[in-house]
Amino acid sequence: MGEKIEGVVIVHFNEDGEMSYHVFGEKVRLFIVDERVPNDRVYEWLSRSEPSQLREMIPAGSDIGNQNDERHEAIKHRVLAAGDGRSYLSVVENDHD
């Protein structure tokens, strides 16, 4: 992440699984589409976070994963579980009894 960033959106999950949105820069827009609210389905997030918050969440030199790295499936599982409001840990049934 050495290149200059002009706009970025961060969806942050804290240790308790609570989610927050952070938008940095004026040339980026964040739309939230919520099918559960048909009369107000699309919402634009207008708040902007302070640039210093970006480095608090992602310190310089941090490893940044992506869909092609070796940890992708584990991280994908955690993010999807948090988005669904469920624990990322689950019971695995043993078929070898």
- pLDDT of 42 over the 80 cut: yes
The answer to whether residues 30 and 77 belong to one domain is no
pLDDT bracket for residue 93 (50, 70, 90): low
What domain range is 84 assigned to?
64-92
The answer to whether residues 6 and 53 belong to one domain is yes
pTM: 0.64
The answer to whether residues 2 and 26 belong to one domain is yes
pLDDT bracket for residue 94 (50, 70, 90): low
9 inside domain: yes
Dist CA 61 CA 58 (whole Å): 8
Dist CA 2 CA 37 (whole Å): 39
CB 22 within 8 A of CB 49: yes
pLDDT digit string (tens) for 3-32?
A: 677 899 999 988 887 889 999 999 999 999
Distances (CA, A) of 95 to 89, 90, 91, 92: 19, 16, 12, 9
97 inside domain: no
Sign of CA dihedral 54, 55, 57, 63: positive
The answer to whether residues 55 and 71 belong to one domain is no
Instruction: Please tell me what DSSP assigns to residue 5.
Output: P
- pLDDT of 54 over the 60 cut: yes
The answer to whether residues 70 and 54 belong to one domain is no
